[in-house]
A and B are shown apart, each in its own frame.
Chain A
Amino acid sequence: MSRNGPLALAFHTLFVIFMLAPIVVVCFVAFTPEAYLSFPTTRWSLRWFRAIADYPEFVAAFWQSVWLGALSSAIAVAFSVPAALAIARHRFAGREVLLTLFQSPLMIPHVVLGIAFLRFFTEIGLAGTFFGLVISHIVIVFPFALRLTLASATGMNPQIEQAAVSLGASEATVLRRITLPLILPGLVSGWALAFINSFDEVTMTVFIATPGTETLPVRMFLYIQDNIDPLVTSVSACVIVVTVAALVALDRLYGLEALLIGRGKGEQ
Chain B
Amino acid sequence: MTGEAQPASALPAVAPERPSRAPYYLVAPACLLFIAIVLVPIAMTVLLSFHDWGQYKGIERVFILKNWREVVTDSYFLEVFVRTFRIAVLVTLVCAVLGSIEAYILNRMGSPWRAIFLVVVLGPLLISVVARTLGWALLFGGTSGVVNQALIGLGVLSQPIPFMFTETGVVVALSHVLMPFMVLSVWAALQRLEPQVESAAASLGASQGTILWRIVLPQIAPGILAGAIIVFALAASAFATPSIIGGRRLKVASTLAYDEFLNTLNWPLGAAVAVLLLIALVLIIVSANRLVEWRYREMFR
Q: Which residues of A contact B (CB under 8 A)?
A: 1-4, 8-9, 11-12, 15-16, 18-26, 29, 37, 79-80, 82-83, 85-87, 89-92, 95, 98, 101-102, 104-105, 107-113, 115-120, 123, 135-136, 138-139, 142, 146, 158-159, 162, 196, 199-200, 202-203, 206-207, 217, 220-221, 224-225, 228, 232-233, 236, 239-240, 243-244, 246-248, 251, 256-257, 260-261
Contacts and interface: CB of A to CB of B under 8 A. Distances in A.
Interface in B114-139: 117-139
Contacts of A112: 42, 45, 237, 274-275, 277-278
Contacts of B120: 16, 19-20
Interface in B198-213: none
Given A146-B30, A207-B258, 17 more contacts: A2-B108, A21-B135, A22-B176, A86-B27, A101-B34, A102-B30, A110-B239, A111-B237, A116-B41, A119-B48, A139-B38, A200-B128, A206-B258, A217-B129, A240-B131, A243-B127, A256-B122
Given A15-B98, A112-B274, A261-B188, A2 B118 contact: no
A25 B176 CA distance: 14
Given A119-B271, A158-B14, A220-B130, A90 B23 contact: yes
B264 to A, nearest CB: 13
B141 interface: yes
Nearest to B111: A1
Interface of B: 11, 13-15, 17, 19-20, 22-27, 29-31, 33-34, 37-38, 40-42, 44-45, 48, 98, 101-102, 105-106, 108-111, 113, 117-139, 141, 146, 173, 176, 179-180, 184, 187-188, 233, 236-240, 243-244, 253-254, 257-258, 261-262, 267, 270-271, 274-275, 277-278, 281-282, 285
A90 B135 contact: no
A111 B277 contact: yes
A121 to B, nearest CB: 8
5 contacts: A4-B108, A22-B173, A26-B135, A79-B33, A217-B129
A1 B109 CA distance: 7
A199 B126 CA distance: 10
Contact of A86 (B22, B108, B267): B22
Interface of chain B: mostly helix, strand, loop or mixed: helix
A243 B274 CA distance: 31
Nearest to A1: B110
A233 B141 CA distance: 14
B135 A86 contact: no
Contact of B257 (A23, A111, A251, A256): A111
Given A11-B101, A25-B139, A109 B274 contact: yes
A2 B42 contact: no
A251 to B, nearest CB: 6
B11 A19 contact: no
B138 to A, nearest CB: 5
B240 A203 contact: yes
Contact of B128 (A83, A243, A257): A243
Contact of B109 (A2, A138, A206, A233): A2
Contacts of A123: 44
Given A120-B41, A251-B119, A224 B31 contact: no
A115 B274 contact: yes
Most chain B beta-carbon contacts within 10 A, residue among A9, A102, A120, A159:
A120
Contacts of A24: 135
A23 B132 contact: yes
Contact of B27 (A82, A104, A228): A82
